[in-house]
Amino acid sequence: MAVEFCSIASGSSGNCIYVGTKHTRILIDAGVSGKRITQGLAELSTKGEQIDALFITHEHLDHIKGAGILSRKFDIPIYATMGTWEAMEQQIGRIHPQNKRFVYQGETCVINDICIKPFEIPHDAAEPVGYRISAEKTSVAIATDIGHVTDCVRENISGCKLILLEANHDEEMVRKGSYPWHLKQRILGEKGHLSNKTAGALLAEIMSGETERVFLGHLSEENNTPYLAYDTVENVLNENKIKVGTYLKMDMALRHSNSARIEL
């Protein structure tokens, strides 16, 4: 086994992703309670004190809610961009100085046998990033909270064996929904979230024989459903002659429970 992947939580109410190898275990985001994350890890036969590092994508609460608690309880280093640290530090509480670590967009960080590359994403946060994680000859990409598709996003998710990609909303559901206009503008804007159709189009554009698994994540509770997200993305892929279920498998990253545990 080179890399193990599991989404512990994914959605507008909280996000946490586990990636591990035989020697190293990391989390991407901790946007649900420390208790919930600990329970999710237990289902993976992993304890909190076995986590080597926690990487944060940006400072919004659905990505940092349990970060401070986990770091203090299990002595876990937290890695984030300088802008993210400045924006989140007061929210997560006191972190031991040795556990305050920095990452820089485009520069690879090495934790034992895992390489983690943060890459710039367009979102309404201080200095948000996605992550491309590599071990052995396998790469995994975590790309959510994307207002629009950029060359940087395309480049960093291309060629990954597994991709967790945001399929946040159905555009018509947003437009016809009950949200105030300013919130609708934020979601649909250049620094908001990726729609189902745009997620499908991005996958169709970058898909190659190297990608075997796709997880659709960070779904809106109000403006999407798992069935609608899956169906929309699958239809876009079919239109581009990419068949789900042959060499490519697609799953949902669940909101309130661990998703499928994948070994790559």
pLDDT digits (tens), the chain, 264 positions: 589 999 999 998 999 999 999 999 999 999 999 999 999 999 999 999 999 999 999 999 999 999 999 999 999 999 999 999 999 999 999 999 999 999 999 999 999 999 999 999 999 999 999 999 999 889 999 999 999 999 999 999 999 999 999 999 999 999 998 899 999 999 999 999 999 999 999 999 999 889 999 999 999 999 999 999 999 999 999 999 999 998 899 999 999 999 999 999
Are the C-beta atoms of residues 103 and 116 closer than 8 Å to each other? Answer: yes
Task: Give me the CATH code for the 4-263 domain, please.
Answer: 3.60.15.10
How far is 44 from 246, CA to CA, in rounded Å? 27
Instruction: Quickly count helices (H) and strands (E) in the chain.
Output: 9, 14
